[in-house]
Amino acid sequence: MKELEDRIRRDGIVRAGDVLKVDSFLNHQIDVRLFNDMGAEWARLFKDRHITKILTIEASGIGIAVIAAQHFGNIPVVFAKKTESINLDGEQWTTKVYSFTHKAYYTVIVAKRFLTADDHVLILDDFLANGAASSGLIDLCHQAGATVEGVGVAIEKGFQHGGDDLRRAGIELHSLAIVDAMDENTGAITFRDNDE
């Protein structure tokens, strides 16, 4: 998606440790018009899928999912919560996710009543790096017996393995921008040719 690539080129900051900072329009301050265009693009890309619910993970996924849902007929958005609580009462689907940015495992939950075998789920998130977050969300769907219709991410870092893992697993994945290389010294960012 050219609009997103242009924005990353203009405002993205390459940090040490393969981290791309996009705080000024995606992870902290939010560009609502851009999010709206991203939602429209996912609706186009997933138009052949019967999607009844969007699943994301707090915090950055929420804004993306809420705006995107309006392009899918205002379907419900559920966000998985990160919790440190060990007092889970059995009313939640639970999985463990390794955080690329925080270098630690955390527990992720979704209430069983909000994710069921009736749901046809589109998973949305801001970034795809090694795929831990999306794999965790897919695991929650499998526990619930829900159907995973696909995964959409704003920015895939193509030099990490998450995207390839999902494609190999037969998941329909649409990444709106794929960064194939980035250089923390020059700030240069190389995108994959990704016109879908």
Chosen residue from 64, 125, 152, 178 binding ligand 5GP by CB under 6 A: 125
Instruction: Tell me the site size for ligand 5GP, rule CB under 6 A.
Output: 19
State the nearest-atom distance from the C-beta of 116 to ligand 5GP, in Å.
24
Q: For ligand 5GP, which stretch binds (CB under 6 A), given 14-22, 83-91, 138-146, 187-195?
A: 14-22
Residues 50 to 79: which contact ligand 5GP by CB under 6 A?
A: 60
Binding mask of the shown chain, residues 141 to 160, with x at each position contacting ligand 5GP by CB under 6 A: ----------------x---
Beta strand 147-157 pairing with 120-128: parallel
The label of the residue with tokens 């069921």 reads 116
Residue 101 binds ligand 5GP (CB under 6 A): yes
Contacts of 33 (CB under 8 A, 6+ apart): none
3-state SS record for 117-168:
CCCEEEEEEEEECCCHHHHHHHHHHHHHCCEEEEEEEEEEECCCCHHHHHHH
The two tokens of residue 121 are 């789920």
Q: How many CB atoms lie within 10 A of CB 27?
A: 17
42 binds ligand 5GP (CB under 6 A): no
When the beta carbons of 59 and 111 are compared against ligand 5GP, the nearer one is 59
Is residue 163 close enough to count as binding ligand 5GP by CB under 6 A?
no
Residue 70 has which token pair?
């309006």
Nearest Cα residue to 57 out of 117, 17, 115, 118: 115
Q: Does 30 sit near ligand 5GP (CB under 6 A)? A: no
Site membership for ligand 5GP, residue 20 (CB under 6 A) = yes
Which positions lie near ligand 5GP, rule CB under 6 A?
A: 19-22, 27, 60, 100-101, 125-133, 157, 162
